Chains A and B, each alone.
Chain A
């Protein structure tokens, strides 16, 4: 196209809008992304407000025969488990635990990854080699196996341990992306101009390079949250990590039914005849979070990096 200079984006840029404003406009032009973001926010806020919405807590047992092990009804929207605990309450607390772990770990990983990646990409040389080789070592194991091994090593884990484990693994993913981006940016003229004006290395890095990598970092951080939710759920599905008797999470709620299943191999979970609601509804919430997370992440990518092809 020859008339690039007059595309709506460029025209809009002549107004008062900054780059962030343009990105937001590009984002809200995708209705699917906006709906996903709203659904995601609703689910996450419901999880964060679990103690308000479900004041009984996740471990409130009601052994009256009319309540124990019932399929979904108006009184218990997600049904009840064999000791009369409301599955909706447990799922809400599960969302809360899962989002604490995922957001905490993604924040830690992003912080470490941005620092390591930016320094490696800017200084190159031996620092770059050392940081990237450490990243290679960390990511040599499949994430699920490394997490399982770390959990076994620690013995007993709580959400803050999981945040450290995932943060200690995932920083390498962010560091690679940030390093590549910074290494490409540092050859641009504006960096040379800043250096000619007498700017120090740190000033160039933090005032010029990192703000320019902001979009890439945001996209990488968003995709981390989804990946951590998935890995966390897989690990807890093996009945490692947090136990549902310590704190319910989406993964260990799904895992509980499998443990019961393996205890009696002949009575498999069969829809309609057994307690499908105990695992299908938490699974559905998990899938919903992941779908919305992926759609939002992709739309963010397209909005922040308009030049690249979008999927």
Chain B
């Protein structure tokens, strides 16, 4: 098991290094960190002129990652400064979403499978198909509009519909005057405010994934409920509740966990759009503002290769790490796959 995990870890690290080098070479030979405008005359020099040069620059960049030196200047401002809050905001959004997805998929999938064919089952499946087809950004726009409307007409303000509490960053990373964003709350008030602002975005992000993963769980539970060991458990006289929870569900959890982890890239992509709609100033907003060259130049050509590289590598790190965990989890639950 340890040998398997170490081998997969080395492979994942290799993949991560290779993609980070690959994207760096592409980006560095096309863009420059210097702040040129699209209206600048003459040819704009790129950061590196040959792939060889770009590789050398990438190596320097890589050496600076552990110390944080690598998060270079973006037209006068440091990418490190907006990166850490953005990472925190996205992590909070993803954690809240993960909680919703795990809880609701488990409940809906188990209920639907243990009453297969009932009206409840049909209802859950109908919800699953409908939910999976609604893109997260459409649901986010819809929820935001409805709750803004409820706020304006009925004074309903239980959930935050825009922004991160206490953050003075507006759309595109523009710093708002303090009259617009107010003093930052502290302590318990801040925590409560964050939760209030997390509700709508995490629901918008979670619904589609609850749809698909409750359906996956339902089908794998149906297989488990028809398996001989389940019949044995029933024959021993175990109550149906225990048969489902202890025997069938436990065996389906491996597939459920790995499917969820392997879906991380899709969740991350959808989170960017939700983040953008709710003006959360997470990694999505940061990525879009970096590649759009907001606030500094006025064209995509001014984008900073180092900033883009940092964000791309971070995104790849999330995906590679979650698929590594998924593979190790599968191997831990089911030893048959380890011998490949």
Within A282-298, the residues touching B (CB, 8 Å) are 283, 286-287, 290-291, 293-295
Within A216-273, the residues touching B (CB, 8 Å) are 230-231, 233-234, 237-238, 240, 254, 257-258, 262, 265, 268-273
Task: Give Cα distance in the complex from A42 to B152, angstroms.
Answer: 39
Q: Judge if B206 is at the interface, Cβ distance under 8 Å.
A: no
Task: Give Cα distance in the complex from A265 to B172, angstroms.
Answer: 12
Residues of A within 8 A of B315 (CB): 141-142, 145
Q: Which of A52-60, A64-72, A113-121, A149-157 contacts B (4 or more CB under 8 A)?
A: A149-157
Q: Judge if A137 is at the interface, Cβ distance under 8 Å.
A: yes
Task: Give Cα distance in the complex from A215 to B184, angstroms.
Answer: 57
Q: Judge if B167 is at the interface, Cβ distance under 8 Å.
A: no
Q: Judge if A97 is at the interface, Cβ distance under 8 Å.
A: no
Contact-residue bracket for chain B? 35 or more
Contact: A153 with B265, CB < 8 Å?
no
Task: Give Cα distance in the complex from A231 to B272, angstroms.
Answer: 12
Contact: A149 with B269, CB < 8 Å?
no
Task: Give Cα distance in the complex from A153 to B287, angstroms.
Answer: 14
Task: Give Cα distance in the complex from A310 to B216, angstroms.
Answer: 9
Task: Give Cα distance in the complex from A292 to B265, angstroms.
Answer: 24
The answer to whether A269 and B170 touch (CB under 8 A), given A149-B291, A291-B129, is: no
- Interface residue from A140, A283, A310 paired with B219 (Cβ < 8 Å): A310
Contact: B135 with A271, CB < 8 Å?
no
Contact: B308 with A144, CB < 8 Å?
no
The answer to whether A286 and B16 touch (CB under 8 A), given A270-B145, A272-B149, is: no
- Interface residue from B137, B222, B291, B320 paired with A234 (Cβ < 8 Å): B137
Residues of A within 8 A of B222 (CB): 309
Contact: B266 with A294, CB < 8 Å?
no
Contact: A311 with B219, CB < 8 Å?
yes
**Number of contacting residues on A, CB 8 A?**
47
Query: What is the chain A residue whose CB lies nearest that of B267?
Result: A142
The answer to whether A139 and B303 touch (CB under 8 A), given A254-B138, A269-B145, is: no
Q: Judge if A190 is at the interface, Cβ distance under 8 Å.
A: no
The answer to whether A144 and B133 touch (CB under 8 A), given A270-B148, A270-B152, is: no
Q: Judge if B26 is at the interface, Cβ distance under 8 Å.
A: yes
Q: Judge if A136 is at the interface, Cβ distance under 8 Å.
A: yes
Q: Judge if B215 is at the interface, Cβ distance under 8 Å.
A: yes
Contact: B300 with A155, CB < 8 Å?
yes
Q: Judge if A279 is at the interface, Cβ distance under 8 Å.
A: yes
Residues of A within 8 A of B133 (CB): 287, 290-291, 293-294
Contact: A145 with B269, CB < 8 Å?
yes
Q: Which of B17-25, B59-67, B98-106, B186-194 contacts A (4 or more CB under 8 A)?
A: B17-25
Contact: B132 with A140, CB < 8 Å?
no
- Interface residue from B129, B268, B273 paired with A237 (Cβ < 8 Å): B273
Residues of B within 8 A of A254 (CB): 137-138, 141
CB within 8 Å: A-B pair count? 140
Query: What is the chain A residue whose CB lies nearest that of B270?
Result: A234
- Interface residue from A155, A257, A276, A309 paired with B223 (Cβ < 8 Å): A309
Task: Summarize A's interface: helix, strand, loop or mixed.
Answer: helix
Residues of B within 8 A of A231 (CB): 269
Query: What is the chain A residue whose CB lies nearest that of B149?
Result: A270
Q: Judge if A148 is at the interface, Cβ distance under 8 Å.
A: yes
Contact: B272 with A145, CB < 8 Å?
yes
- Interface residue from A268, A286, A295, A311 paired with B218 (Cβ < 8 Å): A311
Residues of B within 8 A of A265 (CB): 162, 170-171
Residues of A within 8 A of B149 (CB): 270-273
Residues of B within 8 A of A136 (CB): 11, 15
The answer to whether A141 and B316 touch (CB under 8 A), given A136-B15, A311-B219, is: yes
Residues of A within 8 A of B247 (CB): none
Residues of A within 8 A of B303 (CB): 152
Within B217-235, the residues touching A (CB, 8 Å) are 218-220, 222-223
The answer to whether A295 and B129 touch (CB under 8 A), given A268-B145, A270-B152, is: yes
Task: Give Cα distance in the complex from A283 to B266, angstroms.
Answer: 19
Task: Give Cα distance in the complex from A64 to B305, angstroms.
Answer: 48
What's the nearest-Cβ distance from chain A to residue B151, in Å?
9
Residues of A within 8 A of B215 (CB): 311
Q: Judge if B238 is at the interface, Cβ distance under 8 Å.
A: no
- By Cβ-Cβ distance, the 5 closest A-B pairs, closest first, are A144-B269, A290-B133, A291-B133, A142-B265, A311-B219
Known: A137-B15, A141-B316, A144-B268. 4 other contacts (CB 8 A): A148-B287, A269-B148, A311-B215, A311-B218
Which residues of B pack against A, CB within 8 Å? 11, 15-16, 18-19, 22-23, 26-27, 30, 125, 128-130, 132-138, 141-142, 144-146, 148-149, 152, 161-162, 170-171, 215-216, 218-220, 222-223, 265-266, 268-270, 272-273, 276-277, 287-288, 291, 300-301, 303, 308, 312, 315-316, 318-320
